[in-house]
Amino acid sequence: MSIEITGLTKHYGETRAVDGISFAFPDEVQVLVLIGPSGGGKSTLLRLLGGLELPTAGGVAMNGTALPATEEGLREFRRRNGFLFQSFNLFPHLSALENIVLPLVTVHGWQRDEAVVRAREVVARFGMADHVTKRPAELSGGQQQRIALARAMAHGPDLLLLDEPTSALDPEMKAEVLDVVAELCEAGQRIILSTHEMGFARGCADEVVFLANGRLVESGKRDSLFESPQTEVVRSFLGRVMKW
Amino acid sequence: MKYAVSIFVSVILAATFCFVIWVVATHDYRWEAIAPYRWNLFSGWWMTLQISAASLVGSVAVGVLLTAGQLSGHAIPSFLCRVFVEVIRGTPLLTQILIGYYLIANSIGWDSRFGVGLVILSCFSGAYLSEIFRGGVESIPKSQWLSARAIGFTGVQTYRHVVIPQAIRRVLPASAGQFANLIKDSSLLFVISVHEFTMQAREANSNTYATFEAYLPLIFGYFLLTFPISLLSRHLENRFRYEH
C-alpha cells in the first residue's frame, strides 16, 4: 500500500496527541512500524490510520484514496481492516470460537456454518485449535492475543493494525505472539504496527516512523533508520532500548 | 480469629432467630376471629400477585426506555429522562399514587384503579431500575466498546452483542432487590382502593381487632412472592457467569 499523511493532528482537549504529522510512502509498503517513547503518539496515529478516530485536522490517504470523513464511512473502512490492541480485545462472555464467529456473521454477513469453519481454520493456523471452547478468562495473555489476532484476520483484512500487541505480555508469551505476527508478515499481509520490540521491528519492517511528543522525528527504510539514524533523539532512544 | 468471629456471628444470629420465632409462635392467637376473612386475604394476595407481575414487566419497559433516553447522547431526551428519574425517586410513592389517580387519571376520564396503579408502579420502579441499568451499561469497560468499534459493529450491534449480555449479569442482583421492593410497594395502592393483600389485611383487622392474626399472613404471602424472584435471580446469575 502507499500511504500519505498531511498535517495530521489529533487533540484531546489541551493534549496534542498527534501534532501535525506529515509523511509519504508513495511506493508499496507491506509492513510499516511505528516506534518511539511511550506517550509519543504511536497509539493515536495508529487509531487515526485505522479509522477509529476522526482527526482534528489534516488527512490520511491510502493507495491514493482519502480516508472517509464520516462515522459511517469510517465504519465501512474499519470493517475491511483488522485491529489488535494491547489487551482486553476479546469479549469475555463469549468462547474463543464465538469471538471470531460473531463478527463474521453479524458484520460480514457470512453464514454461521461457514463462519465456524473459517474460525477453526484461523485458530488452527495460530496454534490454538485446542482452546476454541474456552472463555477468555480461561486463556493466558498470549493465548488471548492469538485468538484476538485470529479474529482480526478471519475475514481476510486488507490491512492489519497492531497497537503494541505484546506490551502487556511476559517474554515467553511475547515470543509466541510475535511468532504469529512474523508469520503473517512473511505471508505478505499488510501490517501497520506500533511496538517497543526493536528486534522485531528491525526484522519485519519495510518502513519505520519514529514519533515523540506527537510529532514525527524521523522516518525511512528500516536499515537506514536503525543503522544510521539522522537525529540525536532517535540515536539516544535506540541506544537506550537496544542496550539491554 | 476468623474462626472465632464466624462462630460468634453464627451464635448471635441463631439465638436472635430462635428468640423471634419463639416470641411469635408462643403468642396467644385468636385465629378463629380472622377465619371468615381467609378468602378476602387470598383474593388480596392474588390481586397483589397480578398487579406486581404486570408492573414488573411494565417497570422493565420503563427502565429500559429511561436508560436509553439518558444514554442516547441527545441533550433533550437525556435531560428529560434525568428529570423524570430524579422527580420520581425523590418524591413519596403515596403522593404519586394520589396525584396520578385523583388528578391526572381523573382529568382524562380514566377510572381503572388497576390500570392507574399499574402505570404508577411501573414508572416508580422503572425510575429505580433505569439507574441500575445505566450503572450496568456504564460499568462495561472502554476496551470493550473500542473492540466493538474496531470490528465494525454499529451502535445497535455493540449493545446487542457486547454490552447488554455483559451488563445483564451485573444488574441482576440489584434488579431482583428492586423487584422485591416493587411487590411490597404495591401495598400503597390501598390509597386508591385497589383491593390488594395489605388492604385486605387492614380491613380484616379493623373488623375484628385481631391485629396479629390479620397481618401475620402478610409475612408468608409476600415472602412467597419475593423469594422465587431471589431464586430466579441467582439461577440467572449463574447462567450468565463468564469469569472465573
Tell me: the pLDDT tens digits for B23-80? 988 888 888 888 899 999 999 999 999 999 999 999 999 999 999 999 988 999 999 9
Distance CA B44, CA A45 (A): 66
Grid look-up 478468562 returns A137
pLDDT score at A27: 82
A207-212 and A215-221 beta bridge pairing: antiparallel
Q: Nearest CA to A156 among A190, A132, A183? A: A190
Q: Is B143 on the interface with A (CB under 8 A)?
A: yes
Tell me: the pLDDT tens digits for B141-178? 999 999 999 999 999 999 999 999 999 989 998 999 99
Top pLDDT among B189 and A28 is at B189
Grade residue A169 by pLDDT with cuts at 50, 70 and 90: confident
Inter-axis angle of helices B38-71 and B211-239, to 10 degrees? 40
What are chain B's domains? 39-239 (1.10.3720.10)
Chain A residues inside the 8 Å CB shell of B155: none
Tell me: the pLDDT tens digits for B199-210? 999 999 999 988
The distance of A238 to chain B (nearest Cα, Å) reads: 31
Distance CA B165, CA B160 (A): 7
Average pLDDT score over residue span A121-133: 91
Least trusted range by pLDDT, from A137-151, A172-186, B161-175:
A172-186
Q: Is A156 on the interface with B (CB under 8 A)?
A: no
Residues B82, B88, B89, B91: is their CA dihedral positive or negative? positive
Chain A residues inside the 8 Å CB shell of B166: 91-93
Torsion of CA A116, A120, A122, A124, to 10 degrees: 180
Distance CA A72, CA B105 (A): 45
Residue of chain A minimizing CA distance to B153: A107
Name the CATH architecture for the domain at A1-81+190-244. Answer: 3-Layer(aba) Sandwich (3.40)
Q: Please provide the size of chain B in residues.
A: 244
Cell of B158: 455493540
A·B CB contacts under 8 A = 60
pLDDT above 90: percentage of residues in chain A: 48
Tell me: the pLDDT tens digits for A63-99? 888 999 888 999 999 999 999 998 878 999 999 999 9
pLDDT score at B243: 66
Cell of B132: 441500575
Q: Nearest CA to A78 among B154, B157, B150, B145? A: B150
pLDDT score at A230: 86
H-helix or E-strand spanning residue A61: strand A57-62
Asked if B220 and B41 touch (Cβ cutoff 8 Å), the reply is: no
Tell me what ipTM this predicted complex has.
Answer: 0.90
Asked if A196 and A39 touch (Cβ cutoff 8 Å), the reply is: no
**Residue from the list B151, B152, B244 with its beta carbon closest to the beta carbon of A137:** B244
Question: What is the residue type of B128?
Answer: Y
**Residue from the list B153, B157, B165 with its beta carbon closest to the beta carbon of A93:** B165
